[in-house]
Amino acid sequence: MRSLTARIFHSLLFSSAALLLLMLVGSLPLTAQDKTTPAPKAAETPTYRAGGTPIAIPPPAGLVEVGFDNRTIMEMFAPESNRLLAAFVLPGDLPNLRTGSSAVLSKYSLVEVPRRGEFVDFGANDFKDMADGASQGVSDVLNSSVKETEEEFNRRMKSLDLDNVKIGLDKPVQLGTFFSKPDAYGLGIAMPVTVNGTTTKMVAGIILLRVKDRAMFAYLYAVYKDQDTLIWLRKTTQDWADAILKANAK
């Protein structure tokens, strides 16, 4: 399970750097901004297919799903090992995605599935092994993922003819375990992300999930401002995990 755990943290670092770049640079080739599908009404819980299985994913508190076209665009910001299922931002940030604005996303979240394991049944014991691996090997896996993430991200930028854009990832700081449940495990980290000399301190809640026998990773990001940011992150991460499990309960 260590390789799966490594992919979780690699995806965390890659996605945070990619979305931050999108908002700081505002120069990526977004081509469908004016066709964004309206976000679902609050009473609806949209579903997304993971390995052919419909999974209900309610948004985190205060955020809305970006819609099909923006989600398709943002797929390029998931690492090659994962597939993006859903992306959520603050309602006021939706126009920034549509126009390619350079405003920073202060809060956003992503849900991804591992491409190799998307169609593989993921049992309770498999989830326990994954959660144990995440809790025991965070430091080593995070540190080894930083260089790999920088290299893959910069290769991706070169393929988009943006090889003049470079990122730098400093050593992530662990924020500890947020919660541990039979089908959900949450922890947090803080990480400075530098894009062309501009550094932003990000914090992230990481949720490992087992939903309808599918492995899923959910990430909740915020620009760090003060201690209230961490209080919000811890609470919202656990509340979101509970909501996803409840929405898919048999």
Question: Taking the model in full, what pTM does it have?
Answer: 0.82
What sign does the CA torsion over 238, 242, 247, 250 have? positive
Q: Which helix (H) or strand (E) holds 249?
A: none
What would the two tokens of residue 224 be? 């760090």
User: How does pLDDT run across 171-181, given as a tens digit for each residue?
Assistant: 778 888 999 99
Q: What Cα–Cα distance (Å) separates residue 213 from each residue in 18, 49, 114, 118, 237?
A: 29, 13, 13, 10, 21
Mean pLDDT along residues 106-113 = 90
pLDDT score for 94: 83
Return mean pLDDT, the chain. Answer: 79
Q: What Cα–Cα distance (Å) separates residue 61 from each residue in 26, 150, 203, 205?
A: 26, 31, 17, 14
Residue spans of the domains in the chain: they are: 2-247
User: How does pLDDT run across 72-104, given as a tens digit for each residue?
Assistant: 777 776 777 889 999 999 998 888 776 655 566
User: How does pLDDT run across 119-151, given as a tens digit for each residue?
Assistant: 999 999 999 988 887 777 565 656 666 666 767
The residues, ordered by sequence, that sit 6+ positions from 246 with a Cβ below 8 Å of its Cβ are none
